[in-house]
Chain A
Amino acid sequence: MNIITNIMDGIVFVDRGGNVALMNPVAEDLLGAKFFVAIGKPVVALQGRKELLQAVAADHARMDRQREVTQTVEVHHDAQDIMFIKCTTSRVLDWRGQLAGVLTALRDVTAEHKTDQLRNQYLSIVAHELRTPLTGIKTFATMMAKGSLGPLSDRQQRVCDAIREQSVRLEHQIDKLINLGNLEACEYGQDRESFPVAEFAAGLLAPFEQPARDRKIALTFDVEGDDLWLQADRADLRRACQTLVENAVKFTRDGGHIAVAIELSGAGLRFRVTDDGVGVDPRYHRRIFEKFFQVEDPLTRHHGGAGLGLFVAKGIVEAHGSRIEVSSQLGQGADFSFALPVHKQGVPVIAGAKNPSQGAQP
């Protein structure tokens, strides 16, 4: 019996020399190794659940460079049963600040994992069921609005345009629903492909044109480098850009101005959204990217949203190796931007390369 015996997570402590010094019963169960056998040995030398022991040993080896590492390990219990174990390994310092050892906490997250999987699967099916009829509505309305089915009277034209706009809006809402489901997965930027900037820019602002018109907001869009190509997860990148624009629309007063731009910048392209809206107090510039954070201001509180937009956008932009820059003062508008590398058609982009010859210079 010791201080870690009754902790709900599995706990393994190895000393400075890398040998097991403490282990509780939960850790014994998860690792499949007994403490009295393990004591004084390095984790890598233990017999038990191989995948998990190897993962923990690998995390220990990384401790000379990192303070803390977390990973989720898939453990094949038997033929059908898969467990997911979250391992968090961190350094333990003594009272002088010297390394005393390394502590690993093991938590069975199988239930959470399965819930996530089910939820994502469910949302994906719901989205499919909603998008399918919407595809018909949107396509017919677009064809009719374009006059492909014959000439329309002014009133018919207005109605068709409205059906089209509302179907675009609904499409946007369904995308948001899916994004909510993928939130915890944090697997942004996975589906990379190469595509032209011009193709990306086309239709990017479509969901905002009508709301901006309704509120007499001047919404402009300038695109440079439209002959260049991006290598990115197109749907995610679109989501990140649209979040910035959506926020600008949300926090700009009626009659205000929003300038969206894709600009050449050094070796890449900078996506920039500038507005003359309510602005963000500099002391919140970090916190606005936190999950569910909303600046509590009487002027903004009545705006909808879950406080997830920038959190998701940040995750996406970071997954692409960049970060979102904010420049804003309260009451003086805001400027959000981020840069991404570009390449010319057919020239592959090298991840993380800073070589300007790859970039946007003509």
Chain B
Amino acid sequence: MTRTVLIIEDEKLIVVSTQMVLEAGGFRVESAVNGEEGIAKARSVAPDLILLDIMMPGIDGWETLTRLKRDPATAGIPVVIFTAREHARGHQRSAEMGAVDYFRKPFEPDELIALVEKHVGQRA
């Protein structure tokens, strides 16, 4: 069974490169360019894992995470925060808000695959 990862990320270059890595790792990839679209896709696609950027136009990643966790249809999908910016106590904050992990960009492709393998499909 193919496992699906949803990337919520406004930066096209990162979507394309991350998608390439994940597809090489055997995953199917869906993407959304902002929080609102991401939430809608999460509901319609029901991915096995979500990679969520923080700095996005419109609602940011933290708000997107809050809404994903509030909605019973998406609350169980594991979310990994995927960020290029320093966030004060980022690991703690993302864990408190219900994300399963916190991943920094730039990244090593092998590390991303290992991380996704670790959390994918681990529905709460």
Chain A hits for B108, CB < 8 A? 142, 203
Count chain B residues whose beta carbon lies closer than 8 angstroms to a beta carbon of A. 26
Considering only CB atoms, which chain A residue lies closest to B104 in the complex? A235
**Contact (Cβ within 8 A) A140 B17:** yes
Smallest CB separation, A171 vs chain B (Å): 5
Within 8 Å of chain B (Cβ to Cβ): is A167? yes
**Contact (Cβ within 8 A) A135 B107:** yes
> At the interface with chain A, which of B58-66, B68-76, B82-90?
B82-90
A143–B20 CA distance with the chains assembled, in angstroms = 8
Considering only CB atoms, which chain B residue lies closest to A144 in the complex? B20
Count chain A residues whose beta carbon lies closer than 8 angstroms to a beta carbon of B. 29
Q: Which residue of B11, B91, B105, B109 contacts A143 across the interface (Cβ within 8 Å)? A: B109
**B14-46 CB contact bits vs A (8 Å, 1 = yes)?**
101110110010000000000000000000000
**B77-103 CB contact bits vs A (8 Å, 1 = yes)?**
000000011101111100100000000
**A64-91 CB contact bits vs B (8 Å, 1 = yes)?**
0000000000000000000000000000
**Contact (Cβ within 8 A) A171 B106:** yes
Complex interface residues of chain A between 124 and 160 (CB less than 8 A to chain B): 124-125, 127-128, 131-136, 138-140, 142-143, 146, 148
Within 8 Å of chain B (Cβ to Cβ): is A191? yes
Chain B hits for A131, CB < 8 A? 84-85, 105-106
Give 25 A-B contacts (CB < 8 Å), ordered by A residue.
Answer: A124-B86, A127-B84, A131-B84, A131-B105, A132-B105, A134-B106, A135-B84, A135-B105, A135-B107, A136-B16, A138-B106, A139-B17, A139-B20, A139-B21, A139-B107, A139-B109, A143-B20, A143-B21, A171-B106, A178-B86, A191-B91, A192-B91, A192-B92, A193-B95, A202-B111
Q: Which residues of B does A touch, CB under 8 Å?
A: 11, 13-14, 16-18, 20-21, 24, 55, 84-86, 88-92, 95, 104-109, 111
Given contacts A135-B105, A190-B88, A234-B91, could you give 13 more A-B pairs where the C-beta distance is less than 8 Å? Answer: A124-B85, A127-B86, A128-B85, A133-B13, A134-B106, A135-B84, A139-B14, A140-B17, A143-B17, A143-B20, A178-B86, A191-B89, A202-B111
Q: Which 7 A-B pairs have the closest CB atoms?
A: A139-B17, A136-B13, A131-B84, A128-B85, A135-B106, A135-B105, A138-B106
